[in-house]
Amino acid sequence: MDLGIKGRTALVCAASKGLGRACAMSLAREGVDVTIVARGREALDKTAEEIRSLRGGKVLAISADITTAEGRSAALAACPQPDILVNNAGGPPPGDFRNWSRDDWIKAVDANMLTPIELIKATIDGMMARKFGRVVNITSNSVKAPIEELGLSNAARSGLTGFVAGLARKTVKHNVTINNLLPGQFMTDRLKSRSVLNAEAAGVSLEQYLETRSKVIPAGRFGDPYEFGEFCAYVCSAQAAFITGQNFLIDGGTYPGTY
Ligand code: NAP
């Protein structure tokens, strides 16, 4: 299926690894010119090289912290008029809300709510004027089913979801859609490193821990970031122009609700 986005430009945030990287790879396979952003240079250059080898298309790799104003300026200087914007950043740390200071809350809201809103603000009017735009926010399954120790994430991402729900209905008549992708458990570096710590705390081997954890996913396994990237590419496709303001759970059936 041709997704009809060959030659479009995409700004993909937090994209040297994991889910952001998978989105950039899937978009690049469709012929989209991608600008990828992450802080660490090494992984960023490696991913950029992998994308180039996929199709030899244009890839820009910007080393920046997307949660800062300077980082966002650097990303937008490299890709000032994206047709596709994939918002992503690291998630806030787990913990007990009794220990979180105002500063901890501001950091989480800044990274996982205000950063995507700032990037949408900088790019959406251009998309509407050009009559094509796709914004995808990578949020979390915690938006639908809160995860107790991830209160900072539950709250900041829900704030973004509420904002997007309103805006997405205003932009769609200009062929600009805004949707959220809610990952369940995907086998990324983040999941691996958190699993190492959790396995240690539980006094079991990493293999035992991962096996137990994967068994509670109805699919019986963790998600492959490739599956996430391909779904993102579809949501960014020409064919997806009638889909906006949606929250797509990609979780192997973990969310137990009927709706
Ligand atoms: P990951 O494998 O750790 O990859 C994170 C990527 O984001 C890396 O490329 C990292 O590169 C970049 N990054 C992090 N903070 C950044 C910043 N401030 N500015 C620019 N780039 C930044 O993580 P992931 O599993 O793909 O997770 C992506 C998002 O999905 C996170 O918000 C996570 O909480 C959420 N999520 C993931 C899962 C899952 O199962 N994997 C489930 C639910 C929600 P640098 O560190 O070099 O900047």
- Between the CA of 64 and the centroid of ligand 1 the distance, in Å, is 14
pLDDT value for 55: 75
- Burial label for 131, CB within 10 Å (0-12, 13-18, 19+), is exposed
- Supply the residue whose CA is at minimum distance from atom 2 of ligand 1: 18
Question: In angstroms, rounded to a whole number, what is the distance separating the alpha carbons of residues 15 and 10?
Answer: 12
pLDDT value for 211: 96
pLDDT value for 69: 98
pLDDT at residue 206 above 80? yes
Question: In angstroms, rounded to a whole number, what is the distance separating the alpha carbons of residues 235 and 248?
Answer: 10
pLDDT at residue 59 above 80? yes
- Distance from first CA to last CA of the chain, Å, rounded? 28
pLDDT at residue 151 above 90? yes
- Between the CA of 259 and the centroid of ligand 1 the distance, in Å, is 28
Q: Give the pLDDT band of residue 54 (cuts 50, 70, 90).
A: confident
- Predicted confidence (pLDDT) per residue in 84-108, tens digit: 999 999 999 999 999 999 999 999 9
- Predicted confidence (pLDDT) per residue in 155-192, tens digit: 999 999 999 999 999 999 999 999 999 999 999 999 99
- Between the CA of 220 and the centroid of ligand 1 the distance, in Å, is 23
Partnered with residue 60 across adjacent β-strands are: 35
pLDDT value for 78: 98
Q: What is the mean pLDDT of residues 130-154?
A: 96
pLDDT value for 41: 97
Report the residue among 12, 39, 112, 227 best suited for mutation to probe ligand 1: largest number of ligand atoms under 8 A from its CB: 39
Could you tell me the sign of the dihedral formed by the alpha carbons of 244, 246, 252, 253, in that order? negative
pLDDT value for 225: 98
E strands of the chain, at which residues? 9-12, 33-38, 59-63, 84-87, 133-138, 176-183, 247-250
